[in-house]
Amino acid sequence: MRILVAFDKLKHALSAEAACRAVADGIRRAAPDADLRLRPLGDGGEGTGAVLADALGAAASSAVVQDPLGRSRAATWWFAARQRLSIVESAQAAGLALLASSERDPLRASTYGVGELVSAAAAKPCEQVLLGVGGTATVDGGAGCLQALGWRLLTHDGAALARPVGGGDLEHVSTIEPPARLPPAPLRVLCDVDNPLLGPSGAAAVYAPQKGAGAEAVARLERGLRNWARVLARTTGRDVADRPGAGAGGGLAAGLAAGLDAALYRGGDEVAELAGLATLVRDCDLCLTGEGRLDAQTLRGKVVAAVARTARAARVPCVALVGEVRPPPGLDTPELTARLGLREIVVITPAGCTPAAALAGAADNLRCAAARLMERLTAGDQTAQREQTGC
């Protein structure tokens, strides 16, 4: 049996590569002769840079940038010489994982360091900069990133806002002034979700609470993003507030789309294409994918959805192994399975397991679930063969 294992990370537990290895170990327990192909994937969030670097043979470089709270840190970016492509991961500079729980505050957190990282990557002789915007601690609409790229943000009295700006500063922006020179290479943005910038499905309402914002802060961030969208549209002529994906990275995608005319893409689909997933799955008998939690966000551009679409196009059955399932309102698990085009969803976490234990045991749970799945599928194949031969 030829099996493609194409996993995203299991957040807070396993990298995409580690998840693929755990599943492969489980498969080999039950089917030692299986022909395995491992392809770690990402959706534009944390870990995507390393996944793409591995797929494209890109070399790592580093730059000293500011973290979400303005502290210096070394951040990694990658350059694929053959494709003349620079790869930047926003989470390297502005990631939520860079902050302790007590430090999370999207009113203060800034994407300034992302702009510094983009500047370093664009200085290479590249034809394009690929930027994953997921996994940030920020809801600043990309204002900090634009500041680092030379934009000036002015208040109603004409004073320039100090650098770096955070989400709490957006309601005070009146005008913006672009720099004399923009990055020479076009920017291609990988969005890990397709949420718009504003409203009940927007960056503040959906993602700010995950980044440490209470109800009052969420309302303030929404006001700021609404004002920021108006200022961007007035200055650049690009109204991106309702564009799918503009809310990714706390609105970082919106700021880049308006300020730099960056193209926005579904991260899961783009990474799958760059990693050659369609070619890998084409002659396989089975495809296994997965992530930590299967929920409404999975339908909005995550890896499992991208892998399932690719496998379905190749007429290869696809099974998702996940830590937990939380179907969106109006759908149950069988309906979510059908919506995604999966053969089935397997929950790897044992019943009664605490969240902490589930994270700590994720690798073992993946191995066991993969082994059980292969035993079941192999038994099914043997039963079918006996029925066909009359044994």
Q: Which of 384, 290, 376 is nearest to 30 (CA)?
A: 376
Angle formed at CA 333 by CA 212 and CA 18, multiple of 5 degrees: 60
Identify residue 61 by its one-letter amino acid code: S
Domain 48-268, CATH class in plain words: alpha beta
Tally of CB atoms within 10 A around 15:
18
Tally of CB atoms within 10 A around 365:
24
Identify residue 35 by its one-letter amino acid code: D
What's domain 2-41+276-389's superfamily in CATH? Glycerate kinase; domain 1 (3.40.50.10350)
Q: Can you give the residue ranges of every domain in the chain?
A: 2-41+276-389, 48-268
pLDDT at 199: 97
Query: Could you read off the pLDDT of 125-170 as tens digits, one per residue?
Result: 899 999 999 999 999 999 999 999 999 999 999 999 998 999 999 9
Cβ-based neighbours of 244, under 8 Å, separated by 6 or more:
194, 195, 196, 264
Q: What is the mean pLDDT of residues 38-51?
A: 95
Question: Can you tell me the distance from the alpha carbon of 225 to that of 218, in angstroms, rounded to the nearest whole number?
Answer: 10
Q: How confident is the model at residue 250 (pLDDT cuts 50, 70, 90)?
A: very high
Rounded to 10 deg, the angle between the 267-274 and 48-56 helix axes is 20
Q: What is the mean pLDDT of residues 175-196?
A: 92
Question: 100: buried, middle or exposed (CB in 10 Å: 19+, 13-18, 0-12)?
Answer: exposed
Query: Could you read off the pLDDT of 60-71 as tens digits, one per residue?
Result: 999 999 999 999
Query: Could you read off the pLDDT of 212-226 as tens digits, one per residue?
Result: 999 999 999 999 999
384 pLDDT above the threshold of 60: no
- Give the dihedral sign, CA 132/137/139/142: negative
Q: Is 142 left (phi over 0), alpha (psi -120 to 50) or beta?
A: left
